[in-house]
Amino acid sequence: MSNTVTLTDNRTGKSYEFPIIDGTLGPSAIDITTLYRQVGMFTYDNGYTSTASCKSDITFIDGEEGILKHRGYSIEYLAENKIFLDVVYLLLYKKLPTTQELMTFRKELKTRSFINEKMLKLFDAFPDRAHPMAVLQACIATLSTYYSREMDFNDPNESMELAIRIIAKMPTLAAFYYRHTMGYPLIYPDLDRGFTENFLYMMRSFPHSYVDLRPIEVKALDSVLMLHADHEQNASTTTVRTVGSTHSHPYACISAGIGALWGHAHGGANESVVRQLEMIGSVDNVDKYIKKAKDKDDPFRLMGFGHRVYKNYDPRAKVLKKMRSKLIDELDIDTNLIRIANRIEEIVLQDDYFVSRHLYPNVDFNSGLILKALNIPTDMFAVIFTIGRTPGWISQWMEMREHAPMKIVRPRQIYVGPKSGEEDDRKTQIELKVK
């Protein structure tokens, strides 16, 4: 049996055969690389809902079953047994680290976490209320000027050096800008602290004072970072790969990814969740907003429910829900936002309107509440997402470089504009002469 698909043009009766590409998991794909040459037509797939843009061995998602795997390891297993840096190592090196490898990796990240002091002047160029994502995007683009284009990006060792460097510096840049906007003195990375703990330390500490970082807080933030590490070919990852296909500097690719992630439909979603909870204001108002969400004529939509890919429960949301409960219990938090969120979640999980539409809580619903409980400013939520996603982006960039031949991404379009403008212009000129 031929491993192909036959496409028939019913207008002419002519048929064309295209090969099928099989992966190790998930749906197969029809290779339509030669479609235009054979048929003289394009495919149209608005939003790329049925289009595989690459082959990858990094992340697998089964949206129907609610499955997420990184290099074969389920997200549930990783969340239960590993830390964020284990997953970062897995994405970069294609295997989980041994104890010694993790220690060496952690040490290298620490030593590379400092930034060139000249970059601090960049912060002064922005307005006081500039969004942190705009600043971070500019900082990462600027970082490319410190690490020359003369580097050989095709050399795996140099690519890995670039990857480790940007993963290490991203939390420092984020924490430094936050403290700059608050007028606080900068707190430099502490080489005696772990990756996630160091970020909280740089955010909260003050010179010559003790900062109390409870283990549950570090674990909660570590879980948030891990669960955002990579998520297949989403909008920002596709942006990184698209810019990378032009042979741009990898940090320019990451900067472009930050721009895509910033959007409220992507990385800004957990910020939108919290702002919506604040807008609802009280548990007494929840039923009113649930009714608005179910009204097809009302533009209001509940943030933090449903997912473009997952038609089952988002596996990351399950992990974070447990962590959210544990964090709230250990810190003894009982806020109005949490009560509102709990009431909304209780209704949505039982109401057939939401259940039948697969509108389950997603990762943004729970991560926003966890970050709020950790006293992370709301406009820093997407920045936390960026810190977590950077290892995935740079791993995707490295994988793209490995897969030859690397072709520049160049989608086509269906043109629906005027067939000819010249005739209209001639008519206009004639009318002007007559007048």
Q: Residue 395: left if φ>0, alpha if ψ -120 to 50, beta else—which one? A: alpha
Task: Give residue 422's pLDDT.
Answer: 79
**CATH code, 133:** 1.10.580.10
Owning domain of residue 31: 4-52
Task: Give residue 150's pLDDT.
Answer: 64
> Which of the listed ranges 314-328, 380-394, 397-411 does the model predict with the highest average pLDDT?
380-394
Q: What does the pLDDT look like over 113-128, one tens digit per residue? A: 999 999 999 999 999 8
Provide, rounded to the nearest whole percent, the portion of the chain with pLDDT above 70: 99
Tokens representing residue 405 in the block: 């031949």
Q: What does the pLDDT look like over 176-191, one tens digit per residue? A: 999 999 999 999 999 9
Q: Is the pLDDT of residue 152 over 90?
A: no
| Cis bond upstream, residue 215 (ω within 30) | no
Q: Which residue has the tokens 């290892």?
A: 391
Report how far residue 317's alpha carbon sits from residue 364's, in angstroms, rounded to the nearest whole number.
8
Q: What does the pLDDT look like over 221-255, one tens digit per residue? A: 999 999 999 999 999 999 999 999 999 999 999 99
Residues 283 and 137 both lie in one domain: no
Grade residue 413 by pLDDT with cuts at 50, 70 and 90. very high
Q: What positions carry a catalytic annotation? A: 307, 364
Residues 156 and 140 both lie in one domain: yes
Question: Mean pLDDT, to the nearest integer, of 37-50?
Answer: 94
Strand order in the sheet with 14-21: 4-9, 14-21, 29-30
Give the closest residue to 322 by CA, choosing from 122, 267, 330: 330
Residues 156 and 200 both lie in one domain: yes
Residues 196 and 286 both lie in one domain: no
Residues 213 and 309 both lie in one domain: no
The Cα-based distances of 220 to 175, 196, 336, 368, 371 in angstroms read 18, 10, 20, 12, 9
With respect to residue 279, please indicate whether it lies within any of the assigned structural domains.
yes
Q: Is the pLDDT of residue 220 over 90?
A: yes
With respect to residue 336, please indicate whether it lies within any of the assigned structural domains.
yes
With respect to residue 277, please indicate whether it lies within any of the assigned structural domains.
yes
Q: How many residues does the chain have?
A: 435
Q: Is the pLDDT of residue 103 over 90?
A: yes
Q: Is the pLDDT of residue 429 over 80?
A: no
Task: Give residue 261's pLDDT.
Answer: 95
Locate all alpha helices (DSSP H) within 26-131, ordered by sequence. 35-39, 75-81, 84-93, 99-111, 120-123
Residues 282 and 335 both lie in one domain: yes
Residues 300 and 201 both lie in one domain: no
With respect to residue 431, please indicate whether it lies within any of the assigned structural domains.
no
Asked whether 401 and 153 are in contact (CB, 8 A), the reply is yes
Domains in the chain, number: 3
> Which of the listed ranges 130-139, 323-332, 366-375 does the model predict with the highest average pLDDT?
130-139
Give Rg (Cα) of the chain: 25
The Cα-based distances of 266 to 165, 227, 303, 316, 386 in angstroms read 25, 15, 11, 15, 11
Residues 47 and 177 both lie in one domain: no
Task: List for the chain the helix, strand, coil content (%; round to 5).
Answer: 55, 5, 40
Task: Give residue 435's pLDDT.
Answer: 63
The Cα-based distances of 383 to 123, 288, 301, 308, 434 in angstroms read 16, 32, 24, 22, 62
Report how far residue 91's alpha carbon sits from residue 392's, in angstroms, rounded to the nearest whole number.
7
Q: Which amino acid is at 39?
A: V
Grade residue 149 by pLDDT with cuts at 50, 70 and 90. low
Determine phi and psi for 390, rounding to 5 degrees. Answer: -55, -45
Question: Mean pLDDT, to the nearest integer, of 340-358?
Answer: 91
Residues 35 and 89 both lie in one domain: no
Q: What does the pLDDT look like over 193-211, one tens digit per residue? A: 999 999 999 999 999 888 8
Residues 36 and 126 both lie in one domain: no
DSSP state of 1: -
With respect to residue 12, please indicate whether it lies within any of the assigned structural domains.
yes
Tokens representing residue 13 in the block: 């009766």
Provide, rounded to the nearest whole percent, the portion of the chain with pLDDT above 90: 73
Task: Give residue 122's pLDDT.
Answer: 93
Beta-bridge mates of residue 18? 5
Task: Give residue 351's pLDDT.
Answer: 92
